[in-house]
Chains A and B, each alone.
Chain A
Amino acid sequence: MVPDLRPKLAFVLFLSVCAFAFDWQILLPLIALVLLFPLALPSYHPASDRARHLFFRFILFSIAISGAIIVLNGWILQTGERVEILPGIPLFSDGLLFGVRTAARLLLLSFSVLLFFSSTPIPTCINALQQSGLPRTVVLMLLLTLHFLDSLPERINRIFMAQEARGAPVRAGFISRTKAFFSILSPLLLSSIAESVDRGVALELRGFLLEMAPSAKPALPAQPLSPLTILLLAASFFILVISIARWLLP
């Protein structure tokens, strides 16, 4: 049974619309809400330990970057009143306000997208996409990408060490290191193309690329949208229309 991801996607859409429609005073509580979701709601729990680690590491990283964005904008954009927050660093109100607005929007957008992906395993996401009518070639592409993503770092590391053992200048000067880039990329590409050809032949032999007969296509009943999804979509649409109207008619 593939879970219905539409409520989650509608929630991401709702948060994205809010990020553009509202000012930072409203965005900050929404950011706090997004941060509480993985702790409070089971369906938003990170899907794995790795996802949990990634999610919380990204939160810490982006909060630190946001602080830097605010200070840098306040320091470089020297308009408005001078504000003494950090001793020895002159900050200006207009730059600080711009930094806060930008950081709040960026944080909400980033956290909402990350909340979806950290709580939804990629294979589940791919299954849901397939059920919603994504071509099977694209689904296979995504699944094979996951395979390559697992194996590529190890393969790169192996080639790197082999070239280093052969005396390739992987730790020498800039020009030598740039040349060494080719000595790593060429065998990587060669082995991967060879593997691609082998896999392609295997797919053809298994008849994967043959057209499916109409009767063989899986008949999946279209599920109705849940009330929550409808509510979120309607709210997003309403906020978007109001924002555009306010922008056009000041």
Chain B
Amino acid sequence: MKLSEQFTKETSGAAIPFIAFCIALNLTVGQVTSALKIPIYLDSIGTVLTAVLVGPLAAATAGALSNLLASAMGSPTMAFFVPVSLVIGLFSGILARRGWFKQWYLVVLGGALQGVLAAVCSAPISAYLFSGVMMAGTDFLVLYFRSVGNTIMESVFYQGLASDPVDKIITYLIVFLLMRNLPRRLTGRFAGAANIPSRSA
């Protein structure tokens, strides 16, 4: 099946408004975490939700559009990380298709792998485009790794390894728990309904 046909198949029925909601969720979930004072980002939770319920191509689209809209809304550097969001969407969608969201231990393993992959993909962008400085709290970690003698690329990669797997494991677990508790009459409308864990999982 061609990619365009696959994309058309994924984005039918309730999927389009749901993907739009997931993009908005990526951009606003920080509001919930900051209101509850929880020190996590979860800025790809909408992308992973789309991956599980809709499909990999839709998830990649959701991730890319999230980054572009984030750029338009006051975080201009996010536009340069579109490739990372594409990889996150595709990877989590492929894992969901292979049934990795049905068992909690596979979810943890998938989240860890996703975190490493995100670190690998974002390191060159962060190192070569921004010299490892992203105007965020993680810059201190990069500076620390540089001060102990690592190159910029190594420092950015180590910083990614230190923060991304934890964030992605938590994201995956939240999606797993949410999916497990959603009524089947709602999730049954989506192409990825078969990827959802049963309550006994």
| Chain A interfacial positions (CB closer than 8 Å to B) | 20, 54, 58, 62, 65, 69, 72-73, 76-78, 98, 101-103, 105-106, 109-114, 117, 122, 125, 135, 137-138, 140-145, 147-149, 152-153, 156, 160, 170, 174, 177-178, 180-182, 184-186, 188-190, 192-197, 199-201, 203-204, 209
Contact = CB atoms under 8 A, between A and B. Distances in A.
Given A148-B20, A181-B32, A181-B36, A204 B13 contact: yes
Contacts of B21: 144-145, 148, 152, 192-193, 195-196
A101 B130 CA distance: 10
B19 to A, nearest CB: 5
A65 B135 contact: yes
Contact of B28 (A137, A142, A153): A153
Nearest to A121: B72
Nearest to B179: A189
B69 A113 contact: no
Contacts of A140: 16, 20
18 contacts: A109-B77, A117-B71, A137-B7, A137-B11, A141-B61, A148-B25, A149-B27, A153-B28, A177-B36, A177-B37, A184-B32, A190-B186, A193-B18, A196-B15, A196-B17, A199-B14, A200-B18, A200-B189
B200 interface: no
Interchain residue pairs A-B with the least CB separation, the first 9:
A200-B14, A144-B20, A148-B24, A113-B76, A196-B18, A199-B17, A117-B72, A196-B17, A102-B131
B103 interface: no
Nearest to A155: B28
Nearest to B62: A141
B187 A193 contact: yes
Contacts of B27: 149
B35 interface: yes
A101 B131 contact: yes
Contacts of B73: 54, 117
Contacts of A112: 76
A147 B31 contact: no
A185 B178 contact: yes
B104 interface: no
Contacts of B174: 181-182, 185
B181 interface: yes
A76 B142 CA distance: 11
Interface in B72-125: 72-74, 76-77, 79-80
Contact of B65 (A62, A106, A141): A141
B181 to A, nearest CB: 7
Given A69-B139, A149-B27, A170 B36 contact: yes
Given A76-B146, A141-B19, A180 B36 contact: yes
Contacts of A78: 147
A185 B30 CA distance: 12
Nearest to A125: B72
B65 A142 contact: yes
A78 B28 CA distance: 39
Nearest to B45: A185
